[in-house]
Structure 1
């Protein structure tokens, strides 16, 4: 009887111990601030927490390049469990052995992602969204929609352009598009691209790394046109600002956004569950309609008005310029140095 009473007395303690253990299961997600944070909390994080009981701590610090620099500097132990980056960093992290390799055995919904896009991102990046670099402009200043990237060097836009720094992958994308437009290549012979970007820099008011800061210039009317991700551009259109965006006739390059897990992540099982949840059909539909982006899942239902301006099919991908990101990664430092030498001084 004494033993029975002892066991009964211990049951509540055991129960509370299990409850505390469940409550203590957390996941640290490193991603972006601004409208991205508000939308991912509503569309992804809160539904995930409700279903799994896992608490998500949101870490809105750093750009993709800064986040990967932290992963590299810490040997794969950056203090967060899932990181939102681009395919370029996911590929680099795999090569450096700093990111977990993912497969459909560990993340079942990876099987629903376009094989072509998955291949581009590599085995360490789960593609959760697609955007493309658009030309965003003020409709109350440019009354005819620009249809070429050359609009950025038109006289009417003198000192009405702002550019991303090279730490923002959009700078590289614009450099490569400008190179192809002017007789160069995506990888080899970027000389025409650097010359063209120096000309755009002379038009500009300078450089900013953060998308939130970049968009502030067009919001207040300081800037009349600039390169910008089309999903973020659509959010500005929907907000009622006098802006719109186009995919210029020379073409553009997609932004392939990925979810990755550092090799030293403390909560790997929770991280795998989060990535799988984000890739679910219903989650992708919620994310696409909320953040106004495209998806690497071709089986999702997208509102017609949204689908017309996003990447939602293989045909949409075929119309984009898609550099070999593995080769691009080998040249990034070289091109970054040249950008600082040839492009940045032209803005002064």
Structure 2
């Protein structure tokens, strides 16, 4: 996924020139997504945050969330940013590795308003700021009717009309897990059926892309007719008037629990906690859900009527596939190597 480095100054930036190398010590760096995410977070979160606190926010591109965690690990928890947007899997791994701070609930008071089940899933080092799920996105002008199965991606009629995320995008991992369960395997154990199915999909795909912005460009221009995609981003495409729709297939899907975390070597932890607290606020979560078309870990927010039936509620979690995120974090390196060995060459 596209990522951005968000520089949040404790005071107005004076004489700021150039990229991250010129960031002063009293400023705060937050890694966050690019593309539509950047546009929406500026208007829904950053601008109100700036108006209330006087803190200035500047974006600077970096890498994917997995690459950012790799940087956190490589630098011993001093990656040069103070808040990072990742997934619950990485937040759990960072806690285990001692590279992310346990978030203080006495300082970040809005943590108390999050669903305990989702908060527990992310662990003490991750603040859940949004919830999505992997949907099946398709072109309504090329797919007849409403598809009900992930098997659509294996339909011979879609040969060279499918695209896949790279393994660095957790969506690839989730699709691997769903395909594994569909074919008699498990979510974290016995993934052989999943790897075999993913190789089959790769053989009729046009290849792989890492960022959501690039993935969606293929279905927008019609070169791709179906692909996995996060439901929030899928809803934005629907809202734009593109000839697309998305579904939760009958075989189920996996939720994306997105988190905000603070590396142990962050230089501006107090400001980092303040930003997280603001993002989790009821009004901020309502603005974020309405703007980015995602779900929230708060159960007390007002959700627009047109989104209510397309979101995951806490009560629906039992209807989804919920892999053990701690086990996932441990096995991701092994799965990545196998993906490169068994899935990527099948697309060539």
**Partner Cα separation in structure 2 for residue 260 and residue 295 of structure 1:** 17
Deviation at 1:316, TM superposition (A): 2.4
**Partner Cα separation in structure 1 for residue 272 and residue 10 of structure 2:** 17
**Partner Cα separation in structure 1 for residue 215 and residue 159 of structure 2:** 17
**Partner Cα separation in structure 2 for residue 41 and residue 316 of structure 1:** 31
Which runs of 5 or more structure 2 residues have no equivalent in the other structure? Answer: 1-8, 14-25
**Partner Cα separation in structure 1 for residue 336 and residue 267 of structure 2:** 33
Aligned to 2:66: 65
**Partner Cα separation in structure 2 for residue 82 and residue 22 of structure 1:** 17
1:183-204 per-residue CA deviation (whole Å, 9 max, x = no partner) reads 1111111111111111111110
Which runs of 5 or more structure 1 residues have no equivalent in the other structure? Answer: 1-19
| TM-score, length basis structure 1 | 0.92
Deviation at 1:21, TM superposition (A): 8.1
**Partner Cα separation in structure 1 for residue 76 and residue 245 of structure 2:** 42
Aligned to 2:251: 250
Q: Tell me if the contact between 1:104 and 1:110 (Cα under 8 Å) persists in the aligned partners.
A: yes
1:92 lines up with 2:93 in the alignment:
yes
Deviation at 1:320, TM superposition (A): 1.3
Q: Which has the higher helix share?
A: 1
Deviation at 1:23, TM superposition (A): 3.6
**Partner Cα separation in structure 2 for residue 21 and residue 221 of structure 1:** 45
Deviation at 1:314, TM superposition (A): 1.5
Aligned to 1:342: 342
The alpha-carbon distance between structure 1 residues 84 and 181, as it changes in their structure 2 partners (threshold 3 A), is same
**Partner Cα separation in structure 2 for residue 329 and residue 83 of structure 1:** 17
| TM-score, length basis structure 2 | 0.92
Aligned to 1:152: 153
Following superposition, which runs of at least 4 residues in structure 1 exceed 2 angstroms of deviation? 20-27, 56-60
Q: Tell me if the contact between 1:136 and 1:244 (Cα under 8 Å) persists in the aligned partners.
A: yes
**Partner Cα separation in structure 2 for residue 106 and residue 277 of structure 1:** 11
Deviation at 1:27, TM superposition (A): 2.6
Q: Tell me if the contact between 2:83 and 2:272 (Cα under 8 Å) persists in the aligned partners.
A: yes
- Alignment RMSD, CA only? 1.3
**Partner Cα separation in structure 2 for residue 59 and residue 102 of structure 1:** 25
Q: Rg: which structure is higher?
A: 1
SS of residue in 1 equivalent to 2:33:
coil
Q: Tell me if the contact between 1:91 and 1:125 (Cα under 8 Å) persists in the aligned partners.
A: yes
Q: Tell me if the contact between 1:179 and 1:193 (Cα under 8 Å) persists in the aligned partners.
A: yes
**Partner Cα separation in structure 1 for residue 285 and residue 320 of structure 2:** 21
**Partner Cα separation in structure 2 for residue 334 and residue 220 of structure 1:** 35
**Partner Cα separation in structure 1 for residue 236 and residue 61 of structure 2:** 19
Aligned to 2:321: 321
How many residues are treated as equivalent by the alignment? 328
Deviation at 1:143, TM superposition (A): 2.2
Aligned to 2:5: none
Q: Tell me if the contact between 2:185 and 2:191 (Cα under 8 Å) persists in the aligned partners.
A: yes
Q: Tell me if the contact between 1:76 and 1:262 (Cα under 8 Å) persists in the aligned partners.
A: yes
SS of residue in 2 equivalent to 1:323:
coil
The alpha-carbon distance between structure 1 residues 345 and 43, as it changes in their structure 2 partners (threshold 3 A), is same
Deviation at 1:88, TM superposition (A): 0.9
Deviation at 1:57, TM superposition (A): 2.9
Q: Tell me if the contact between 1:29 and 1:56 (Cα under 8 Å) persists in the aligned partners.
A: no
Q: Tell me if the contact between 2:10 and 2:54 (Cα under 8 Å) persists in the aligned partners.
A: no
SS of residue in 2 equivalent to 1:309:
coil
The alpha-carbon distance between structure 1 residues 172 and 73, as it changes in their structure 2 partners (threshold 3 A), is same
Deviation at 1:22, TM superposition (A): 4.4
**Partner Cα separation in structure 2 for residue 57 and residue 72 of structure 1:** 24
